[in-house]
Amino acid sequence: MEVRQLLALFLCVLPLSASQRPNIVFIVADDLGWNDVGFRNPDMKTPNIDKLATEGIIFENAYVQPLCTPSRTAFMSGMYPFHAGTQHATILHAQPVCVPLNYTFLPQELKRLGYATHMIGKWHLGFCKWECTPTYRGFDTFFGYYNGAEDYFNHSVGGYLDYRDNELPARNYSGEYSAFTFAQRAVDIIHRHNVSQPLFMYLPYQNVHGPIEVPKKYEDMYPNVYNDGRRRYNGMVSALDEAVGNVTKALKDRGLFENTLILFTTDNGGLIDLYGNNWPLRGGKRTIWEGGTRGTSFMYGAGLQKIKTTYDGMIHAVDWKPTLVSAAGGSTETTIDGMSHWDSVRYGLPSSRTEFIYNIDDFEVPIEGHAGIRVGDYKLILGYPGRSDGWAKPKNTTKADATEKTIYIKGDAPVHLFNIREDPTEHNDLAQQMPDMVAKLRARFEEYKKTMVPANYPKQDHAADPRKYGNVWTPGWC
């Protein structure tokens, strides 16, 4: 044994050597609802996801932001979107904006610990200049797209390609469904990986965000779903599941699986208008109801002591960055909003988080509320919580969606208060009954609000026009 190792033992801080650090695979499903996985809803066919979830730890109280860009801001930076200016909505194609460059991203932290870092999938954290893009923000390699949504087969947004292999346009994947390409790229990286380094792979899949597209074979797995849109959507979930299965198989084939930690999470609740489902939770994507913010999430693998099947502790999206850095043997930053739950999760201990902000959106139009705070069991919503509201079961009663109504309730009450532990489905508004609790949470909210950075939501800029860049969405215009 080397002197350095002996010394470390003596000090009881034996640092992990590069080869002891776990490989980390961080999978994000886009817009996947609470009730859209087999381990919650037996109508869904997701055997690979179910196996990892039920053999790992399912998070019952892992919160995300109501939308893509804000949640991804939190995943990468460990900061609340209201501290990064990304709290209002998603970044639009031609908006000259990205997550502030002075925030250190998760792959940058992991690189310092010796990791090889790869990203495959959707970015959506801004691309107006190269410094904003994945290969400049900590990833050794990138394959995927910069915007928030595009066609699954031709990979174009607004008529122009958004698909890249590292920094070059990937023009020759037209016709290939993105889940296949992404899974294959992940498999290739796993097979080529030099095992003397730990591996970090960030895999934010396109599935199951709109447009609702999937090869027919997957749709056909659901002959008993009458509604056309929901049947296709379910097929998209099953294609995602197969992609997850292919990646885990590659890890096994390469002998890496035993030392791999997998984190799976959605970025927000399911979008009810587009067939996502969060039953029995209230609301969905875009809202700060539980259906928009309580995410489907689980962890599997290296380092976890399986005490229980589920973990009830409170976790917020900002916490994943420091949690994964701790799992990698790194020390966590003290200047970010997130806190590590690594020890709590792996030993089944209570969460050290007791409160969080659902959102603080100061941008004026449209006012989808988006101000909310949780303190202990209580949740305060200020203003309009967002649409759609209500409790929706999976669509199945009509063939076409148009006739199936989604309920929209305009924000009629300026303040809502719920006890989420007793009433997770938000049926029983306590605001009138408990004015003191409303005041307490409002005061706490105001404290957070003092630290808010104004939403950075500029007008779209013609300088982004892809025609100037060979008909491909390309950085270089801000």
Ligand X SMILES: *[C@@H]1O[C@H](CO)[C@@H](O)[C@H](O)[C@H]1NC(C)=O
Q: Which of 2, 11, 102, 223 binds ligand X (CB under 6 A)?
A: 102
Going through 67-212 in order, the beta strands assigned E by DSSP cover: 116-122, 141-145, 156-157, 160-161, 164-165, 168-169, 199-204
Backbone angle region of 383, left / alpha / beta, with phi > 0 → left and psi within -120 to 50 → alpha = left
Of the candidates 99, 179, 299, 417, which one interacts with ligand X according to CB under 6 A?
A: 179
Active-site residue numbers? 68, 124
Tell me: does residue 305 bind ligand X (CB under 6 A). Answer: no
Could you tell me the smallest distance in angstroms from the CB atom of residue 183 to ligand X?
A: 3
For 288-297, letters b (16+ CB in 10 Å) and e give bbbbbbbbbb
Distance of CA 9 to the CA centre of its chain: 38
Dihedral pair phi/psi, residue 225, rounded to 5°: -100, 115
Is 401 a binding residue for ligand X by CB under 6 A? The answer is no
| Residues ≥6 apart with Cβ < 8 Å to 296 | 29, 32, 33, 34, 36, 37, 40, 264, 265, 266
Count of residues engaged in binding ligand X, rule: CB under 6 A: 26
What is the number of the residue whose Cβ is closest to ligand X? 183
Which position has the token pair 């909003």?
A: 337
Residue bearing tokens 């030993």? 347
Q: Which of 47, 100, 348, 424 binds ligand X (CB under 6 A)?
A: 100
Choosing from 14, 453, 461, 469, the residue that interacts with ligand X (CB under 6 A) is: 453
Local structure of 64: helix, strand or coil = coil
Give least dist CB 232 to ligand X, A.
13
Give the shortest CB-280-to-ligand X separation in angstroms: 15
Binding residue for ligand X, selected from 57, 125, 239, 324, defined by CB under 6 A: 239
In whole angstroms, how close is the CB of 108 to ligand X at the nearest point? 13
Q: Is 172 one of the binding residues for ligand X (CB under 6 A)?
A: yes
Q: Using the rule CB under 6 A, give the single segment among 177-185, 253-261, 348-356, 375-383 that binds ligand X.
A: 177-185
- For the bound state, the minimum distance from the C-beta of residue 153 to ligand X, rounded and expressed in Å, comes to 7
The residue within the footprint of ligand X, chosen from 196, 305, 334, 403 (CB under 6 A), is: 196
Site string for ligand X, 116-145 (x = CB under 6 A): ------------------------------
* Amino acid of residue 311: Y
DSSP E strands in 320-470: the ranges are 355-360, 371-375, 378-382, 415-419
Which region among 57-65, 224-232, 353-361, 430-438 touches ligand X (by CB under 6 A)?
Answer: 224-232
226 touches ligand X by CB under 6 A: yes
Stretch that binds ligand X, among 62-70, 168-176, 297-305, 357-365 (CB under 6 A): 168-176
Nearer to ligand X, 150 or 368 (CB): 150
Burial class (CB in 10 A: 0-12, 13-18, 19+), 139: buried
Nearer to ligand X, 203 or 381 (CB): 203
Considering the rule CB under 6 A, would residue 225 count as an interface residue with ligand X?
A: yes
Torsion from C-alpha of 134, 172, 27, 258, nearest 10 degrees: -110
Under rule CB under 6 A, residue 431 binds ligand X: no
Report the nearest approach of ligand X to the CB of residue 163 (Å): 10
Judged by DSSP in three states, 311 sits in strand
The CB-of-340 to ligand X minimum distance in angstroms stands at 18
CB 261 within 8 A of CB 25: yes
Cβ-based neighbour number of residue 269 at 10 Å: 34
Could you say whether residue 246 binds ligand X (CB under 6 A)?
yes
Residue 180 near ligand X by CB under 6 A: yes
Q: Are 296 and 34 within 8 A, CB to CB?
A: yes
Q: Please report, as residue ranges, which positions from 15 to 74 form the binding site for ligand X (by CB under 6 A).
A: 43
**From CA 7, how far away is CA 107, in angstroms rounded?**
29
- Residues in contact with ligand X by CB under 6 A are 43, 100, 102-103, 151, 154, 156, 159, 172-173, 176, 179-180, 183, 194, 196, 211, 224-226, 239, 242-243, 246, 396, 453
